[in-house]
Amino acid sequence: MEPLYEEYLANHGTIVKPYYWLSFSLDCSNCPYHIRTGEEARVPYTEFYQIFGFPYGPVYPQTKHLTFYELKTSSGSLVQKGHASSCTGNNTHPESMLFEMKGYFDSALHNNNAIRHIILYSNNSPCNEANHCCISKMYNFLIMYPDVTLSIYFSQLYHTETEFPASAWNREALRSLASFWPQVTLSPISGGIWHFLLNSFVSGVSGSTVFQPILTGRALADRHNAYEIKAITGVKPYFTDVLPQTKENQNIKAQAALESYPLNKVFPGQSLQVTSGRPQPNLTPDLRVPVIFVLVPFRDLPPIHVSQNPHKPRNIVKHLNMPQTSFQETKDLGRPPIGMPVERMEITEQPARSKEMDERKKKKKGKK
């Protein structure tokens, strides 16, 4: 197989031209080496923050695409790690480069049949717009390699909102890709995955910096992504919710947080309401406040498939306008359903004998 790419040995890995005809371009700072492997795949912390929006939350406008990847065996041993960056000169996305027929991944699996698992960590979810066809190339790749599993983690959804002309096409393509479950999983980056990325793909960070707290703005965006991808695909993603919650007010806090979180700003304003001379904080969260969570081995957890017929609560006697659990039918996809109106009815039973006795007593009283 004659590949489309050219690969060169570097100091700490390899650098790759995804297409052999690429040359240095003034329009693209990464040209022509858009794929880097090994320790060459590390990026500066400032670049990671600007593209992935960690730890504060999404940064807009976002024009660059960056995808970190791992190639692994069936036992979980790492064969190769690397990254692919978008080409602004040729308007090409990383997934399009990686999954091209006769491209880098195709050649890697052709030359090493021990590779059984591909993990992507992207700042954007894959799209299927005409100029890129990322999901179509993934789809064909998975058909060609049915024994290979693909896990995709993303920090924000790309062009799935209704204001984008290609949103319907992208959403349909994501549903099509998710239909490969369990061969394919689509999940937001969340929880300990952020610290894994810092440790494995970012340069100049070490020690406590790697395990810095996840700020509220980032945690809210991750939660939003989890609900949105489930709404689009119908499949529950892997997701670690790191926002602190209590049993009493978790629904109120979740609703207020999602309502007050504008997805087009990094730091929304925070105000104080004065009541009886004392400042009372409103429910708008400070996106720079760290949240505490438990680090879990995310790669050891199996994907969770959403059943279309979940069990109903046992203690509910009667439901009023009970919403469907399918997110595809939810009117407001930007936030989870907070609760359902419930009418509780107390039913008491009386033995037949006691009932007859009461009737007899009433008759006797009437005769007197």
**296 vs 301: CA distance, rounded Å:** 9
Asked whether the beta carbons of 99 and 152 are under 8 A apart, the reply is no
Select from 268, 267, 254 the least CA-distant residue to 334: 254
- Peptide bond before residue 182 is cis, with ω within 30 degrees of 0: yes
Angle (CA) 78-118-164 rounded to 5° is 140
Asked whether the beta carbons of 41 and 82 are under 8 A apart, the reply is yes
How are beta strands 290-291 and 214-215 bridged, if at all? Answer: antiparallel
95 is catalytic: yes
SS (H, E, C) 77-111: CEEEEEEEECECCCCECHHHHHCCCCCHHHHHHHH
**157 vs 143: CA distance, rounded Å:** 24
Annotated catalytic residue: which of 2, 6, 7, 95?
Answer: 95
Name the DSSP letter for residue 328: G
DSSP bridge pairs for 291: 214
Name the DSSP letter for residue 6: E
Helix (H) or strand (E) segment spanning residue 147: none
Asked whether the beta carbons of 140 and 101 are under 8 A apart, the reply is yes
Question: Looking at the annotation, which residues are catalytic?
Answer: 95
